[in-house]
Structure 1
């Protein structure tokens, strides 16, 4: 049972858009999304339920001295998704279960409730798509998966300009500490830490963080290797990583993209990647493994977005991921 203090019930008003008709070939995402409470989730025979859950929090960003505003990201991501046409099959059902929010700056408690919510989704055999919110979403998301998959090796593929391997300071965990926290958890439990970061920028990470990546066994693909000449090698690295684990959790920090196409993020970067054929090839490689069980889209900051450019980018990732789930990307 999820506490109603940290849990915001889903609203159909979050999903509004154009209506061209009610025929299956005409409907858009806002017409197909069903509203349901987390506690009412259950498996559906012959159906794969995709579960939207918001993480309405930017407390981790604030603690990490980033630009606040991403707490409203889940609402704008839903709005950006609403008008997208439905191209996935009828076997894929979209459900919205509401938001987990940070109350009075209590990120730690919100993360615990997020973990509970993710465990409920996994228990119902759903595929979670978590809408951020700051990148502190990772800790609660991962721990929720581990609650129900304790005997499985879960690998995390993080599309990000940053390693997010910082040590928590006096203010506690933040948007840059999630993978350090998970690495420590793995060390304490005697498990291997399976982490692949894609899009890493040298100008966005200190030498200490590169040293920490080496120390923790973090694998990474630098931003300069995501080009037409080296994309085959990057795809192979994803395939090799996927072979080492039982399940994959994908995290998309929108600051991995160039600020030219993603201005509305908490920590914009000028030298990021673009949403082009090379990015799609990497996305395809992830889903082609057949092991992707969960994903999140993080760090959308509507306060700094231009013409909803970044929100639409996040929505495109979700749209393509729905297709990739069925091998149609």
Structure 2
């Protein structure tokens, strides 16, 4: 696995200096692959893992460039203020990359690192990379849980990502793949997607979502104007599961907020509704792992998308540390 897993780059973590770790670049600890077995991870640890891979995006016909997303997010995250308690650890464990287009091997490597993190008590916060990150992330979380414990998925996204993988895995197929694995293992497939754009998903995907029992809110339903209904939908979903995996696809946001993605659109949801929902999810105490996907610096504007992705990670860490 070590040929795929590269150690973190200290040059990515820079910013203002302070006398008391007032910025995250001063708080973070860097841990390379050679330290995996001896790394001290516990329930007070947030573990950053990058998925430097956009092979799935290429296979899905999207704009490549998301492989550079993890490092772009780190550059912005390091500049942000640190309000984490001293007892809380922030650990950067580097990137899993994709070599010679072997997407499946990269997913396997990432899944193993996620499982190790969870088994040691840490909270994995993954930085993508294509949305095929979800198949790997979910697999690692699921394998770390007892079979008796249910694991739900909440996806903030314009797309269902329920396309078939009959011609190979890709960024549009992760949740179809998860559904297939759940069926094989006789486990319930619990999936809620928030922000679906009807014009971005053909009828086939709506039919598949209904067949698989997927819950979803379309974009016109997913706004602060309807926050009471959104909160009720979220609450009902969370009440029915033991743990939850959350993934935020940056292309779900309007390109006014998130232009640097593989499939940008001026029509999308706002950071406000996403942050409000994340707060509710975190308050449930059920969050097991979270990622941000599809940040593509090649098409970003003033690092806006990377800053938003970093801001989401920042908010999640700080909200959890208040529990």
Matched ranges for 1:232-311 at <5 A? 232-276=228-272, 278-311=273-306
- Find the aligned partners of 2:51 and 2:260 in 1 and give their Cα distance: 17
- Find the aligned partners of 1:31 and 1:104 in 2 and give their Cα distance: 35
Match of 2:172 in 1: 176
Residue 322 (str. 1) matches residue 320 (str. 2): no
Match of 2:217 in 1: 221
How many Å apart are 1:320 and its aligned residue?
1.0
- Find the aligned partners of 1:218 and 1:289 in 2 and give their Cα distance: 21
TM-score, reference length from structure 2: 0.96
- Find the aligned partners of 1:42 and 1:196 in 2 and give their Cα distance: 34
- Find the aligned partners of 1:327 and 1:17 in 2 and give their Cα distance: 25
- Find the aligned partners of 1:43 and 1:305 in 2 and give their Cα distance: 34
Deviations 1:120-177 (A, max 9, x none): 111211100000000000011111112211422111101000000000142x100000
Match of 2:38 in 1: 40
Q: Secondary structure at the match of 2:95?
A: strand
Q: Secondary structure at the match of 1:155?
A: strand
Deviations 1:27-54 (A, max 9, x none): 101110001133332344xx60000000
Deviations 1:10-43 (A, max 9, x none): 2222211121x2225xx10111000113333234
- Find the aligned partners of 1:39 and 1:267 in 2 and give their Cα distance: 38
Matched ranges for 1:12-161 at <5 A? 12-19=10-17, 21-24=18-21, 27-37=22-32, 38-44=36-42, 48-151=44-147, 152-161=149-158
TM-score, reference length from structure 1: 0.94
Q: Secondary structure at the match of 1:229?
A: helix
Contact 1:70 1:132 in 2 (8 A): yes
- Find the aligned partners of 1:175 and 1:31 in 2 and give their Cα distance: 34
Contact 1:235 1:281 in 2 (8 A): no
- What value does the CA root-mean-square deviation take over the aligned residues? 1.3
How many Å apart are 1:188 and its aligned residue?
1.3
Match of 2:6 in 1: 8
Q: Unmatched 5+ residue regions in structure 1?
A: none
Runs of 4+ in 1 over 6 A off after TM superposition: none
Q: Secondary structure at the match of 1:198?
A: strand
Q: Secondary structure at the match of 1:86?
A: coil
- Find the aligned partners of 2:205 and 2:194 in 1 and give their Cα distance: 15
How many Å apart are 1:279 and its aligned residue?
2.8
Q: Secondary structure at the match of 1:283?
A: helix
**Which shifted more, 183-192 or 304-313?**
183-192
